[in-house]
Amino acid sequence: MDNQSLEPRGIKPEESPSLVLAYIGDAVYELAVREYLVQRGMVKVNQLHRTAVKYVRAGAQAKALFSLEDKLSEEEMAVVRRGRNAKSGTPPKGACVLEYRHATALEALIGYLYFKERHERVREIISMAVNEISRQ
């Protein structure tokens, strides 16, 4: 696999299913959270995992999305609505359907922006989400 194959070229996020966007957004968000925690000096894997769960669980992501909504563009809100309305199956243990749908919406937004190669905006949104969850 060469480096070029890792770039999101040729993917049209406007035409991609919301759950595909959420799938990618979940990975991007999870990596960002892990980097955030390591940058703060966490080095014990068990502690990293327990703390990361606080940031990636559906309830926390849903609350973060609510705090971001007034900071999103119309285009971004349209992606959020698409992601929220996607039929994403059974929520994980400890999450209600509404939390899970809103978490999926946040992940879809991150995936959408990633595929649009708007990496600075991805960082802004993740930073705002992580800061909001840190306050909870």
Known catalytic residue: 2?
no
pTM metric for this prediction? 0.90
**Model confidence band, residue 6 (pLDDT cutoffs 50, 70, 90):** low
pLDDT over 90 at 77, yes or no: yes
Residues 18-57 as b or e (16 or more Cβ within 10 Å = b):
bbbbbebbbebbeebbbebbeeeebeeeeeeeebbeebbb
Q: End-to-end CA distance of the chain: give it in Å, rounded.
A: 41
Mean pLDDT of 50-72: 96
Instruction: Look at residue 1 in the predicted model and tell me its pLDDT.
Output: 46
Mean pLDDT of the chain: 91
Write the pLDDT tens digit of every residue in 22-60. Answer: 999 999 999 999 999 999 999 899 999 999 999 999 999
What is the Cα Rg of the chain in Å? 15
CA distances (Å), origin 44, targets 28, 30, 38, 100: 22, 17, 9, 29
Question: Which of 13, 21, 24, 26 is labelled catalytic?
Answer: 26
pLDDT of residue 12: 87
**What's the rounded mean pLDDT across residues 121-131?**
97
pLDDT at 20 over 80: yes
What domains can you pick out in the chain, each with its CATH number? Answer: 17-135 (1.10.1520.10)
